[in-house]
Amino acid sequence: MKTYLHTVLMALSFTTAITATAQVPILNSLPSAQAVILLDFDGHVVTGTSWNYDGPINCNSSGLDNTQITTVFNRVAEDYRPFNINITTDPAKFTAAPANRRTRVLLTTSYEWYGSAGGVAFIGSFLWGDDSPAFVFTSLLNFNVKNIAEAASHEAGHTLSLQHQSTYNTSCVKTSEYNYGQGAGEIGWAPIMGAGYYQNLTLWNNGQSSMGCTSIQNDLDVITTGNGFGFRTDDHQATFAAATNAPFVNNHFDITGVITQNTDQDMIKFTQPAGGRFQLSAIPYNVGTGNSGSNLDLQVTLYNSVQTQLNVYNPGVLLSSVIDTMLGAGIYYLKIEGKGNVYAPNYASLGSYALAGDFSSGTLPLRKLELQGEIVSDKHRLTWIIDADEAVTQQILEVSTDGRNFTPVTQTDNAQRLFMYKPYVTTTAQYRLNVTFDNGHKYYSNIVSLRNTGTTYWPKLTGNIAHSNITISSPGTFSYAIYEVSGKTIKQGQLTNGLTTINTSVMTSGMYFIRFANGSEQWVDKFVKQ
């Protein structure tokens, strides 16, 4: 029996489609690969496939312009970067691929034949050989390029035999068909085979599938062991002896690479010509600011010529890494790898990156600025180290709940190196220290994330069976949205501190999801209307 699954359709306002350009740009992520996923943006008539139980399906184009098409392609290509498969917009590449090593993802405004969903695909159709496509309904996703790309990668995943990544409670009861992930900001995470609309870092996952709470789906294994292709060839070796050399040219070098597996480590070697300042920018592939669309949380480890570890660089709330340090003349090594973070598991932090290294003879005005933090009972304790020749003229401890917008917590005495308080935020607090020296230079410390523990800080249903209403206990101000399993929004509004009762009398019997959000994090629960 052939099974299809569709992608949840989130609450979106509708706008007018942008007219697609006449010629879709020809794009390929790995032209040499035999296996192919075609992103079809310019319309197609579907005939002779498992979908055609009621005749041909005439699909219009995507309604996207070439800039949007390129962005969608780049996002999907990065999701599939670890694998030996070509993401392409070129129909000729699709036609040339073996029939049982290819799939077409139709990105179209034509959804009426199927209904309201972000997309739909048959499970395992990549191997069928009958060209049964997957569909992404761009107009129902409001022509939002991120959401369209998320749906395209998700539906292509279904064709590669992946089920949904779901969530369950401790009683093994499914709480959501789609795992919405967790966190906020640049490192907020969700599984590709869950629902990645609201998070930046969407990755393959090893977790509970929609088949049951004891059914653990290892996405990487499913993709690479059952579809006739595996991981792409490793581009940099993992040993000191085989390290890729990065020569300085005019005191600068550039290196690119791909982390293909969670065991992959890329070793890079460089020779500093003289004592001085070494700076490295390690950036994961992205499509915009804030490392938008990245799949790789980079960690860089610096070693000296005798392979002694000097330091590890991995900012807590950023996907990129930066080195700025003084080094003597000699040989050094950089180990590049993908890592998890406070939100994302250390499983599929994979993808492409670029390194830019620079040498200069200047000195570092600041040798060390390090912030540390811990939770003591219900308080946050922050300490810091400042090692500099200049005198501190101002130091401000700042906090953020989204990893982007920081506000002052306190301005301490210039000699102070400790601050402790009970935070008012009920989500993860992210701290940094803003220090100004007497030479006028300003510096920011590393970012420290502290998560409150032991207390429930999000809204909870007082019961999961609704008759004429449901009651929610909320610890503060949150938005809520109730939607059907199909993704259609039924109600939405605001919660305040205390109990809120929502009338459900006009809702038909069945299961519903309710999503709570506070601007930086979200939680999903479900209830049954009787």
Classify residue 230: in a domain, yes or no: no
Angle at CA of residue 41, ends 39 and 43, nearest 5°: 120
Classify residue 455: in a domain, yes or no: no
Range of the domain at 263: 244-360
Q: Are 434 and 471 part of one and the same domain?
A: no
Q: Are 370 and 341 part of one and the same domain?
A: no
| Percentage of the chain modeled with pLDDT above 90 | 65
Please give the pLDDT value at position 377.
80
Please give the pLDDT value at position 9.
53
263 contact partners, CB below 8 Å, separation of at least 6 = none
Q: Can you tell me the distance from the alpha carbon of 525 to that of 495, in angstroms, rounded to the nearest whole number?
A: 15
- Residue 185: how many other CB atoms lie within 10 Å: 24
Q: What average pLDDT is seen over the chain?
A: 89
Whether the predicted pLDDT of 388 surpasses 90: no
Give the pLDDT band (50/70/90) at residue 75: very high
Q: pTM of the entire structure?
A: 0.71
Classify residue 237: in a domain, yes or no: no
Classify residue 385: in a domain, yes or no: yes
Q: Are 303 and 195 part of one and the same domain?
A: no
Please give the pLDDT value at position 489.
79
What's the total number of domains in the chain? 4
Q: Can you tell me the distance from the alpha carbon of 124 to that of 227, in angstroms, rounded to the nearest whole number?
A: 9
Please give the pLDDT value at position 12.
35
Give the lowest-confidence range in 6-15, 83-92, 421-430, 438-447.
6-15
Give the pLDDT band (50/70/90) at residue 241: very high
Q: How many CA atoms lie within 13 A of 183 on its CB side?
A: 27
DSSP letter (8 states) at residue 50: T
* Best CA proximity match to 65, nearest among 19, 17, 28, 16: 19
Whether the predicted pLDDT of 397 surpasses 70: yes
Last residue of a domain, one of 302, 332, 360: 360
Classify residue 231: in a domain, yes or no: no
The CATH number assigned to the domain holding 465 equals: 2.60.40.1930
The CATH number assigned to the domain holding 279 equals: 2.60.120.380
Please give the pLDDT value at position 387.
86
Strands (E), 206-320: 206-209, 212-218, 244-245, 252-259, 266-272, 276-284, 298-303, 309-313
Q: Can you tell me the distance from the alpha carbon of 31 to that of 321, in angstroms, rounded to the nearest whole number?
A: 30
Whether the predicted pLDDT of 437 surpasses 90: no
Residues facing residue 389 across a β-bridge: none
Give the pLDDT band (50/70/90) at residue 317: confident
* Best CA proximity match to 348, nearest among 67, 79, 142, 112: 79
Q: Are 54 and 199 part of one and the same domain?
A: yes
Classify residue 236: in a domain, yes or no: no
Q: Are 70 and 160 part of one and the same domain?
A: yes
Q: Are 114 and 179 part of one and the same domain?
A: yes
Whether the predicted pLDDT of 60 surpasses 70: yes
Classify residue 232: in a domain, yes or no: no
Q: Are 117 and 208 part of one and the same domain?
A: yes
Please give the pLDDT value at position 523.
76
Task: Give Cα 318 to chain centroid, integer Å.
Answer: 12
More confident residue, 403 or 338: 338
Q: Are 151 and 32 part of one and the same domain?
A: yes
pLDDT tens-digit series, residues 162-179: 999 999 999 999 999 999
Q: Can you tell me the distance from the alpha carbon of 492 to that of 485, in angstroms, rounded to the nearest whole number?
A: 15
Q: Can you tell me the distance from the alpha carbon of 437 to that of 498, in angstroms, rounded to the nearest whole number?
A: 46
Last residue of a domain, one of 225, 253, 280: 225
Last residue of a domain, one of 360, 375, 397: 360
The CATH number assigned to the domain holding 57 equals: 3.40.390
Classify residue 301: in a domain, yes or no: yes
Q: Which of 91-95, 312-316, 376-380 has the highest mean predicted lDDT (pLDDT)?
A: 91-95
pLDDT tens-digit series, residues 208-228: 999 999 999 999 999 999 999
Q: Are 497 and 402 part of one and the same domain?
A: no
The CATH number assigned to the domain holding 379 equals: 2.60.40.10
Are the beta carbons of 151 and 164 closer than 8 angstroms?
no
H-state helical runs in 123-171: 145-159
Q: Which of 259-263, 459-463, 490-494 has the highest mean predicted lDDT (pLDDT)?
A: 259-263
Q: Are 114 and 200 part of one and the same domain?
A: yes
Give the pLDDT band (50/70/90) at residue 8: low
Q: Are 446 and 469 part of one and the same domain?
A: no
Whether the predicted pLDDT of 502 surpasses 80: yes
Q: Can you tell me the distance from the alpha carbon of 364 to that of 362, in angstroms, rounded to the nearest whole number?
A: 7
Please give the pLDDT value at position 400.
83
Q: Are 356 and 381 part of one and the same domain?
A: no
Mean pLDDT of 321-327: 90
Please give the pLDDT value at position 524.
78
Q: Which two tokens stand for residue 402?
A: 């989204």
Q: Are strands 478-484 and 489-495 parallel, antiparallel or unpaired?
A: antiparallel
Please give the pLDDT value at position 247.
97
